Structure 1
Amino acid sequence: MNELLESAILASKNASKEILNHYSNYSLYAKDDKSPLTSADLAANDEIFKVLEKTDIPICSEESILPYEQREKLEEFWLIDPLDGTKEFIAKNGEFCICIALIKNGKPILGVINIPIKDEIYYSNEIGKVYKNENLLNFSSNSPNLHLTGRNGKKTKSSKFANYFNLTQTNLGSAIKFCKLASNEASAYARFGDSSLWDIAAGHFLVKASGGLVIDLKTKQDPIYNGKSLINNHFLALNKNSIHLKDKMVDYIKKYIAI
């Protein structure tokens, strides 16, 4: 394990402790866009910065955004969400996580997702290997025919997609969905709503490292993370066992689901 991955894992552990410290007693604020922000988000962000600043690599966080004018000139930068799933944190359903990715030339080359309530950390910096709490995941096992979708927002398009491909739709908050794909516990995750760059970068790398894929439904390429917009295009994520369905799924989405 290289030093950068070790730093990302340590940062996620320290952030996890802070989040759990705030779980039963936190302050709630509203961002300019009316989305919720808690003292746990801010405390986790601080802990991550304390560790990752020592790497001398610039950091772009949901709570400390690097402007595009800076990001476009960077070969490398950290892209983090200190608490992905703030609404789930408030709801106390446990479906929130910490996302840390290292971006190089617009693509993730390292991913860490920490799930505080379960004390689980998924991580990788190498294609073909994903670890969960130091245990190498087995990618050869069969996976259930599950399509994952978020707990918030309308699900009409997701349900239509799942029904067509005979997938059972399951609601799950935050980037934990990518962990389920990387560990072969689900087949697909089609996102037909907005998400931010820091929401998916770490998960994108974990899915890719496990043999799966994440495809931007507009460009038909991998999502990129150094563009001007902080919002991703809609995307499709598939685990290793479902990659053979990519073309059929993309064609179906193009023909029958307006995105």
Structure 2
Amino acid sequence: MIDSAWPDRLEHLARRAGDAIMAVYARDISVTQKADHSPVTDADLAAHRVIADGLAAWPEAIPVLSEEDTASFAGADGRGRYWLVDPLDGTREFVRRNDEFTVNIALVESGRPVLGVVLVPVTGVAYVAARGQGAWKVAAEGRQREPIRVAGRPAAGACWRVLGSRSHANAGGSAWLEALGEYCLIPVGSSLKSCLVAEGQADVYPRPGPTCLWDTAAAQVVLEQAGGRMVAGVGSAPDPAGEPLNYATPAQTRNPAFVAWGF
């Protein structure tokens, strides 16, 4: 069982990282390329430092795997736990200044995310979830928690609200979408997509393109605790059955294709 004080503590830490990001957002943004040709900015690194320091001061010592410092990670602890962090998810959206970027922090235990926060720095909205405690949305720091729940499977003949990435190839292709039924495709950046499914603002988010463990873990626990699922595999046709994304092998940082379902 997750300590009942940990979700609030984690939300506060994510908000501090969000403040560091917004300080950079307010000025000219310097962008460099990492070895994998993905962009990195001063904001990614500033948020990483805030989160790393905060987790180092956590009540329990738990290893940290961050996108901005994979070399320091030596593996999960004896209980199979580690923190999985994307200090700035949606760096391309950040550089484009379209406001759709997030801070992602998750606690993984025995391969499953059990505690997570996804913060949208521009709006101050935080999505928080803990196993056994549910999922909720907080409009701004100090505000009351608002429990969230997925919308459920759309009625027969209803239009599916499908989310797609702004910066990467969308959905599973036209055949996958046509097999789904009538749909409208809505582009959104970062892990915000899975959170919108979690709060019932969308029905499904298929992702056949590349993602990493830190892109999905925090949003996955939010989605699962809100009644949804994030399952591996997109396939040639929509199928909500499947195994949840698993984080038991952090040395393999790439996720398989997946679908986030709102039921």
Bin of the TM-score, shorter chain as denominator length: 0.7 to 0.9
Alignment counterpart, residue 195 of structure 2, candidates 143, 155, 179 = 179
8 Å Cα contact 1:27/1:38 also seen in 2: yes
Q: TM-score, normalised by structure 1?
A: 0.85
Q: Which runs of 4+ in 1 moved over 4 A?
A: 66-69, 140-144
8 Å Cα contact 1:128/1:210 also seen in 2: no
Q: Distance in 1 between matches of 2:79 and 2:148?
A: 35
Unaligned runs of 5+ in 1: 241-259
Q: Quick one: structure 1 residues 95 and 159, their matched pair in 2 at CA, closer, same or farther if it must change by over 3 Å?
A: farther
Q: Distance in 2 between matches of 1:139 and 1:106?
A: 24
Q: Which residue of 2 aligns with 1:59?
A: 64
Q: Distance in 2 between matches of 1:139 and 1:87?
A: 29
Q: Distance in 2 between matches of 1:65 and 1:121?
A: 25
8 Å Cα contact 1:7/1:51 also seen in 2: no
Report the alpha carbon displacement of residue 65 of structure 1 after superposing the two structures with TM. Answer: 1.2
Q: Quick one: structure 1 residues 3 and 216, their matched pair in 2 at CA, closer, same or farther if it must change by over 3 Å?
A: same
8 Å Cα contact 1:84/1:175 also seen in 2: yes
Q: How does 1:45-194 map to 2 (within 5 A)?
A: 45-55=48-58, 56-65=61-70, 70-71=75-76, 75-127=80-132, 129-133=134-138, 134-139=144-149, 145-155=160-170, 157-165=172-180, 166-194=182-210
8 Å Cα contact 2:65/2:73 also seen in 1: no
Report the alpha carbon displacement of residue 51 of structure 1 after superposing the two structures with TM. Answer: 1.0
8 Å Cα contact 1:196/1:231 also seen in 2: yes
- Alpha-carbon RMSD: 2.3
8 Å Cα contact 1:159/1:169 also seen in 2: no
Alignment counterpart, residue 14 of structure 1, candidates 7, 13, 16 = 16
Q: Distance in 2 between matches of 1:164 and 1:192?
A: 16
8 Å Cα contact 1:149/1:158 also seen in 2: no
* One-letter amino acid of the structure 2 residue matched with residue 239 of structure 1: G
Q: Which residue of 1 aligns with 2:217?
A: 201
SS in 2 for 1:48: helix
Q: Which residue of 2 aligns with 1:3?
A: 5
SS in 1 for 2:17: helix
Greater mean deviation of Cα atoms: 215-224 or 75-84: 215-224
User: 1:55-88 deviations in whole A, cap 9, x for unaligned?
Assistant: 2211110001157762486611110100000000
Report the alpha carbon displacement of residue 137 of structure 1 after superposing the two structures with TM. Answer: 2.6
8 Å Cα contact 2:171/2:177 also seen in 1: no
* One-letter amino acid of the structure 2 residue matched with residue 187 of structure 1: D
Identity %: 28
Q: Which residue of 1 aligns with 2:43?
A: 40
Q: Which residue of 2 aligns with 1:226?
A: 248
Q: Quick one: structure 1 residues 73 and 128, their matched pair in 2 at CA, closer, same or farther if it must change by over 3 Å?
A: closer
Q: Distance in 1 between matches of 2:162 and 2:151?
A: 17
SS in 2 for 1:95: coil
Q: Distance in 2 between matches of 1:239 and 1:182?
A: 6
* Higher helix proportion (structure 1 or 2): 1
Q: Distance in 2 between matches of 1:141 and 1:31?
A: 38
Q: Distance in 2 between matches of 1:193 and 1:124?
A: 26
Alignment counterpart, residue 262 of structure 2, candidates 239, 251, 254 = 239
Q: Distance in 2 between matches of 1:129 and 1:178?
A: 16
* One-letter amino acid of the structure 1 residue matched with residue 100 of structure 2: E
Report the alpha carbon displacement of residue 160 of structure 1 after superposing the two structures with TM. Answer: 3.2
8 Å Cα contact 1:19/1:41 also seen in 2: yes
Q: Distance in 2 between matches of 1:76 and 1:66?
A: 17
